[in-house]
Amino acid sequence: MQLLDGKSLAKKIEESVTLQAKEFKNRTHRVPGLAVILVGHDAASQAYVGMKKKACDRAGFYSVTHEMPDDISQEAIVKTIEMMNDNPNIDGILIQLPLPSHIDTTKILEVVSPSKDVDGFHPYNVGRLATGLDGYVPCTPLGVMELLSEYNIDPKGKNCCIVGASNIVGKPMAALLLNANATVEICHIFTDDLKKHTLAADIVLVGAGVINLIKEDMVREGAIVIDIGINRASDGRLVGDVDYDAVAPKTSYITPVPGGVGPMTIAMLLSNTLKAAQNHGGEI
Ligand code: NAD
């Protein structure tokens, strides 16, 4: 079994992005800029936003966080996004999810200019991904593809079973794997006999948010297991969706949690923001 080390690959990507951001600054006299919109006081969201800001600082990006109270109106969020759409110092706009229940998340995501949609959640970029065109791809599944590529794992012709069908993880993961010529199955909460599907897979990719969802008897010998889940165990530890200790010895490759997909997500956010800055050039 070999570990897919997202932590060290993320560091390598960060270093390359930092260098390219310097070159971009020399050429255009400005740095890539990221705006984050954070609504409410969810501790996990605050922690994620803090990590993203630190990563921007390390890469030499400009970043700004718009913190808004839980009871903020839809209109006020829309106005802030429109301001960021028009701000030439901002290349990427990230709406930290989840938003409070009185906010229409779909409508909010549609306000973000597709050219600044570094999370790849705007329907325009979702459509481009689905049709195999260049655009902005959601950071977590993009990070998984980078990780596979780093270890020379080609999904072409492989049976891939994705567990979890959300817009931010499972569905874009499926599109990326399909574009890479894999055979793709997507399982979700209503899937009957999950084990039947995971057992048949060469690559099992899990992002469901359920601790120990994938057990030792659900994975075939030599399979590749990508654990996208991030959960807080009752003892405070961060754990994934895979029963790691039992499953890992059966696999050929596996991602640890933490240190697997998580750091790759942040590295891809930097990479997407740099790409947006390069697309915008010196002027927006
Ligand atoms: P979500 O709640 O939006 O979606 C969960 C998906 O899993 C749904 O499609 C649901 O049907 C499926 N599911 C839930 N329970 C299941 C079960 N028992 N069997 C089969 N399918 C089941 O969640 P999300 O936002 O997609 O996040 C999923 C997980 O990925 C979470 O643990 C989250 O923290 C993690 N995540 C990690 C990163 C990262 O950077 N590594 C980024 C985003 C999300």
Give the chain's radius of gyration (CA, Å): 19
In this structure, the answer to whether residues 155 and 248 fall within a common structural domain is yes
- Cβ(190)–Cβ(204) under 8 Å? no
| pTM of the shown model | 0.98
In a domain, 35, yes or no: yes
CA atoms of 69 and 157, how far apart (whole Å): 48
In this structure, the answer to whether residues 92 and 152 fall within a common structural domain is no
Q: pLDDT tens, 48-106?
A: 999 999 999 999 999 999 999 999 999 999 999 999 999 999 999 999 999 999 999 99
- Per-residue confidence (pLDDT) for residue 284, from 0 to 100: 45
Which atom of ligand 1 has the smallest separation from the CA of 97?
Answer: 25
In this structure, the answer to whether residues 163 and 246 fall within a common structural domain is yes
| Domain count of the fold of the chain | 2
Nearest CA to 20 out of 67, 70, 59 is that of 59
In this structure, the answer to whether residues 51 and 153 fall within a common structural domain is no
In a domain, 1, yes or no: no
Nearest CA to 217 out of 194, 188, 239 is that of 194
What is the mean pLDDT of the segment spanning 260-274? 98
Which atom of ligand 1 has the smallest separation from the CA of 266?
Answer: 40
In a domain, 275, yes or no: no
Confidence of residue 283 (pLDDT cuts 50, 70, 90): low
Strand order in the sheet with 92-95: 62-68, 33-39, 92-95
- Per-residue confidence (pLDDT) for residue 98, from 0 to 100: 96
CATH code of the domain in which 98 resides: 3.40.50.10860
In this structure, the answer to whether residues 156 and 239 fall within a common structural domain is yes
Name the residue range of residue 92's domain.
28-113
Atom 34 (ligand 1) nearest CA? 230
Atom 18 (ligand 1) nearest CA? 189
In a domain, 268, yes or no: no
In this structure, the answer to whether residues 48 and 149 fall within a common structural domain is no
In this structure, the answer to whether residues 105 and 170 fall within a common structural domain is no
In a domain, 118, yes or no: no
Asked whether 187 lines ligand 1 (CB < 6 A), one says yes
Task: Tell me the two tokens of residue 101.
Answer: 């229940």
In a domain, 281, yes or no: no
Q: Check pLDDT > 90 for residue 282.
A: no
- Report DSSP state, residue 183: E
In single-letter form, the type of residue at position 203 comes to I
In single-letter form, the type of residue at position 96 comes to Q
Q: pLDDT tens, 204-229?
A: 999 999 999 999 999 999 999 999 99
In a domain, 130, yes or no: no
Residues identified as active-site: 52, 96, 119
